[in-house]
A and B are shown apart, each in its own frame.
Chain A
Amino acid sequence: DGGITQSPKYLFRKEGQNVTLSCEQNLNHDAMYWYRQDPGQGLRLIYYSQIVNDFQKGDIAEGYSVSREKKESFPLTVTSAQKNPTAFYLCASSPRTGNTEAFFGQGTRLTVV
């Protein structure tokens, strides 16, 4: 089935460690996005990529890094520089052009202790 897959669903890390969240899609979408969601809040954009080997910072990129070496993959690294990394992270993809909806993964809940 076509879709977007995030793994793992739950992730625990010690403070000061970098951690990488996986996002894979087989929808042949050019654009991919990473959002962060805190309790009771809407989604905030971390990074987005409209094409392979290119990505742009979103509204809250500090303390995060991404890569886009393959069309189907857009991993997010939460670095030790991120002051409040505990959150729900959502990955999405969409066609680069045209007005169509974004497809979301099921999210990764990261807890840093």
Chain B
Amino acid sequence: DIQLTQSPSFLSASVGDRVTITCRASQGISNHLTWYQQKPGKAPKLLIYGASTLQSGAPSRFSGSGSGTEFTLTIGSLLPDDFASYYCQQLDTYPLTFGGGTKVEIK
């Protein structure tokens, strides 16, 4: 199975900060990676697919990059609404797998 390692697992940041989350795959997955945002008690929300394509309706301050085994999610300037957990997911090979998550909290 393909393992996804997210870092950091926890991040404390302030409104206005630029934030970067990394996701590393245990083997190459081309660009078959998505990013989701999840708030407590809610279903995940798609932000980025194909490693870098912004989902319709997702704010433009979110961006994704990477290919192969190294991927990043960047939030250009944190807003209060962005404090949440973020997960990467590989859709290259079954079984599909998720990263362990990154919780972004207010400093």
A-B interaction: no
- Interface on A for B, CB 8 Å cutoff? none
